[in-house]
Amino acid sequence: MTITNTQSGSALSSYQDAASSGRVPKKTLGQEDFLKLITVQLTKQDPMKPMEDTSFMAQMAQFSALEQSSQMAKDMAAIRTDFSLQSAAGMLGRQVTLDTKNGSVAGVVDAVDSSDGTVKVGVGGLYYPLSQVVRVAPAVVVPATQTKA
């Protein structure tokens, strides 16, 4: 009996082609992956022994819990960012002391930035992460001198 090769190339070359094409494998399974697994599981099941309802319902409940927990994590991250931005905005015009790797820096907060996803306070033209603020005090007010005419 002769066996002929119906596929050109080997599995290794197919793997190398996929790797060199820029495809990056995922490290975690997401919602789409879970739905694909269930779909394949349902299409490949033995018609004489279908999946039990309890097993299918348990998988759907796990999927629902996973989806809700990932949404809650996203919501919590958004709340944390909003809270940090609000805290930083409350520091505008106030004297702060920052603990940086180069030592302490003191100055008045004159700007707040969150364009890169992290909240930063602007002091003296430089931006520092909100986490480096160690002290907040009212801004020092210098009384204006009166001149006589």
**Does the pLDDT value for residue 104 go beyond 80?**
yes
Bridge partner list, 95: 108, 137
Q: For domain 90-137, which architecture applies? A: Roll (2.30)
Instruction: Spell out the domain ranges in the chain.
Output: 90-137
Over residues 134-148, the pLDDT tens digits come to 999 988 776 767 666
Residue 75 is predicted with a pLDDT of 94
Over residues 29-44, the pLDDT tens digits come to 667 777 787 788 778 7
Above pLDDT 90, what percent of the chain? 35
The pTM score is 0.54
d(CA 56, CA 91): 53
User: Is residue 66 exposed (0-12), middle (13-18) or buried (19+ Cβ within 10 Å)?
Assistant: middle
